[in-house]
Amino acid sequence: MGWLGRRRAKAQVKGALGDFTLPSFPGTVLDSLSALRDPSLTMAGIAERLAVDPGLCARLLALAGSTAYALRHPVRDVGHAVSLLGRGEVEALVLSVAVPRLLPEHPSPSFDSGRFWRASARRATTAKRLAEALEPGRKAEAFTASLLQDMAVPLLAEVHGEPYARVLDAWRHEGGDLTARELDLFGFDHASIGGFVAEKWGFPPNLVAALGDHHVPDAKEVPLSVRLVASLGEGEPDEERDALVVTAHERFGLVSDQVSAVVDEGMRLGDELAARMRAA
C-alpha cells in the first residue's frame, strides 16, 4: 500500500512518536518557504526574504556551490541562486539545509550522525545523477527526497531508545531490509514516519509521497532514482553499489556499466557534500 493509502493509519503512525514533540522550523525558514511559494513575489523579493537569515543563506550557498550540485557557474549570492535555480529548486535546497538542524544529533549511542549524513548525502548525489539521465525534470526533487528519506531514523532512535538501537545494530551488521525489521518489532517503519513528519512540516505533496513511499518498488509518484538509491544504507559502498546496479538492471532494464559509473561518481560527490554539510 502506498503512502496515500497508508494515511488512514495516521493515528498509529503518530503514536509511534509517543509524547515526542516535533521541533518547529525557525520563523525565518518558514518565511523563506512562504516567499518561495508566493507567486506574487518577484525573484528579487524572494532573495530579500531569504537574506534575513544569514546562516540559512550560507548553508544554502554551500550546498548550491558544491560540485555535487553541478552548476556550470559559481553562485555569487542568494539572489543569484534564486534567479539561476528557480523557486522549486531553491525550496528543495532550503529544506535540505533546514531539516538536518531540526533532527536529534546524538539520539542514542548506536547512532553515528556523521555516518548517517554521509550515507544520506551519497544517496542524494547518486539520485540526482541518475535523475539527470532518467527524469531530468525531477532532479531537485530526487536530490532532496533522497537526502531526507531516512530523516525519521534519528527521531525513532530518540523516542524508542535501546529497542530501536538494537534494530539499527542488527541491520548494520547483518544487512537486509531495515523497514522489515522495524515492522516486525514495532508495527511501523521509518518511511511511514518520515511521510507523516514531512506532512506535519508542510512539505510539498510530491516530497511527502517520496519520503513515505521510497521503499515501495512500484510507487509511480516517487522518482525512479529515489526508489533505486533507497537500498544504499550505511554499509560498505562497493557491496551496496553492486546491489543497486543489479536492481537497476533486473527491475528497470538499465545498462549495468553505466549505472555503476553513475553510482561511483555519486558516492564520491556525496562524501564531498557531507563534508560541506558538516562545515556549514
What would the pLDDT profile of 200-246 be if each residue is shown by its tens digit?
898 988 899 999 999 887 888 899 999 999 888 777 767 778 888 88
In Å, what is the CA distance from 64 to each residue of 97, 127, 162, 168, 229?
A: 11, 16, 37, 32, 21
Q: How many CB atoms lie within 10 A of CB 114?
A: 11
| Residue ranges per structural domain of the chain | 21-102, 105-280
Q: What are the tens digits of pLDDT across the range 131-177? A: 988 888 888 889 999 999 999 999 999 999 999 999 988 888 887 78
State the chain's maximal CA–CA distance in angstroms.
Answer: 53
Can you give the pLDDT at residue 12? 63
Please report which confidence band the pLDDT of residue 8 belongs to, taking 50, 70 and 90 as the band edges.
very low
* Cell numbers that stand for 88 in this block: 522549486
Average pLDDT value over all residues in the chain: 85
Q: Are 109 and 120 in contact (CB under 8 A)?
A: no
Distance CA 102, CA 178 (A): 23
% of residues, the chain, pLDDT over 70: 91
Please report where in the chains the cell 506574487 appears, as a residue: 40
Which of 3-17, 68-82, 92-106 tops mean pLDDT?
92-106
Measure the CA angle with vertex 115, ends 110 and 117; round to 5°: 115
Q: Is 164 helix (H, G, I), strand (E, B) or coil?
A: helix
Q: Are 53 and 29 in contact (CB under 8 A)?
A: yes
Q: Is 220 helix (H, G, I), strand (E, B) or coil?
A: coil
Architecture of domain 105-280: Orthogonal Bundle (1.10)
More confident: 81 or 252: 81
Residue type at position 98: A
Residue type at position 118: R
Range of lowest pLDDT (38-52, 57-71, 190-204): 57-71
Exposed e or buried b per residue across 218-233, where buried means at least 16 C-beta atoms within 10 angstroms of its C-beta:
ebeebbbbbbbbbbbb
pTM across the whole model: 0.87
